[in-house]
Amino acid sequence: MIKNKLISNAKKVDKFLKNYLNKQEKSLLLYPMKYGVLSGGKKIRTSVILCAGKLFGLKEKKLINLCAAVECIHSYSLIHDDLPCMDNDTIRRGKPSAHIKFGEASAILAGNSLLTLAFEIIADKKYLIDTKIKSEIIKSLAFFSGHTGIAGGQELDLKFENKRKNFNQIIEMQKKKTGKLFNFCLYVAGALAKKSKKEKSSLSQTGEEIGLLFQLTDDFLDLKGKKRLVGKSINKDNSKGKSTLISLIGYKKTKNYALNLKKKILLKLKKHGKKAKDLENIVEFIMNRNF
């Protein structure tokens, strides 16, 4: 059931992105950009935003630009993550990585262009939301994407290779690398719903924990997943000497940590009652996913 929902949400954001990209001024980079953002992927961050919107009765029309922007940033991060100077991966979403298909320079530039497109999509004058909220959202998305967010987390991930890092250092790196974009997905619903600073900060925290859970299950899939299902190379963390919770405390203890984290997240969502049902289902999906 949840898989069908994910697929239908992915179709919605893909349709928006296809339309948006087709209306852009023509350029050589449009093709690798489309390849990066439209060629599959679960688009789980889109579903998280749409379900977070349900907590406050927000309409999809008010959320779809944000979903598209987040998917652009996520796809840029994957394109760059696959580069030889980063994680050096040749397969992504079951297809050749962008730099294999288009060359390194085009992949870097297409990634850069997706990052900037994200902000263009939110700033678009046709996206009718309160101007003050729009600038708050743009600022927070920039904060979560740059050196204080996913790019900073990626730097730590690379610097931590083949080093013995402690529990808190690993959690901090994973929360930045993967958690910050999920943080935004919940925070943004609170911002659009004009919630208090305290409520937005609580949403941020829950979002970041969902992101951490997502990263932990990504690490489980690297160890025990099937390449055919995950669509990318597996067993890489160990061979690259990545600092993960699994490398520090082992698979079983990490699984227990993830289970407790999931319980903690679900408990927090409880206060939203029935409105949180879809988001709770996503959290369960994240915990048990095989792709």
Q: For binding to ligand GRG (CB under 6 A), which residues are involved?
A: 41-42, 44, 74, 77-78, 80-81, 93, 150-151, 154, 177-178, 215, 218
In the complex, least distance from residue 218 CB atom to ligand GRG, rounded to whole angstroms = 4
Q: How far is the CB of 13 from ligand GRG (least distance, A)?
A: 11
State the minimum distance, in angstroms, from the CB of residue 247 to ligand GRG.
16
Taking the complex as a whole, how short is the minimal distance between the CB of residue 52 and ligand GRG, in angstroms?
16
Give the distance, in angstroms, between the CA of residue 236 and the centroid of all CA atoms in the same chain. Answer: 20
Q: How far is the CB of 229 from ligand GRG (least distance, A)?
A: 11
Minimal distance, residue 41 CB to ligand GRG, in Å? 3
Least Å from the CB of residue 85 to ligand GRG: 8
Residues whose CB falls within 8 Å of the CB of residue 236, separated by 6 or more in sequence, listed in order? 87, 89, 222, 242
Identity of the residue, 62 or 240, whose beta carbon is nearer to ligand GRG in the bound complex: 240
Q: Rounded CA gap, 223 and 225, in Å?
A: 6
Nearer Cβ to ligand GRG (193/287) = 287
Do the Cβ atoms of 153 and 243 come closer than 8 Å?
no
Q: Which residue is nearest to ligand GRG (CB)?
A: 41
Tokens, residue 149: 């967010």
Q: Decide whether 177 or 262 has the Cβ nearer to ligand GRG.
A: 177
Torsion of CA 25, 29, 30, 32, to 10 degrees: 180
Least distance in angstroms from the C-beta of 271 to ligand GRG: 27
Beta strands in 55-199 (DSSP E): 91-92, 95-96
CB closer to ligand GRG, 178 vs 254: 178
In the DSSP assignment, the letter for residue 211 is H
> Which residue's CB is nearer to ligand GRG, number 165 or number 200?
165
CB-based contacts of 48, cutoff 8 Å, min separation 6: 182, 185, 186, 207, 210, 279, 282
Please report, as a single letter, which amino acid is at residue 110. Answer: A
Q: How far apart are CA 177 and CA 215, in angstroms?
A: 9
Task: Decide whether 204 or 215 has the Cβ nearer to ligand GRG.
Answer: 215
Helix, strand, or coil here: 92?
Answer: strand
Nearer to ligand GRG, 134 or 180 (CB): 180
Handedness of CA 174, 175, 181, 185 (dihedral sign): positive
30 phi and psi, to 5 degrees? Answer: -55, -40
Q: 224 vs 270, which CB is nearer to ligand GRG?
A: 224
Cα separation, 1 vs 4, in Å, equals 5
Do the beta carbons of residue 141 and residue 118 sit within 8 Å?
yes
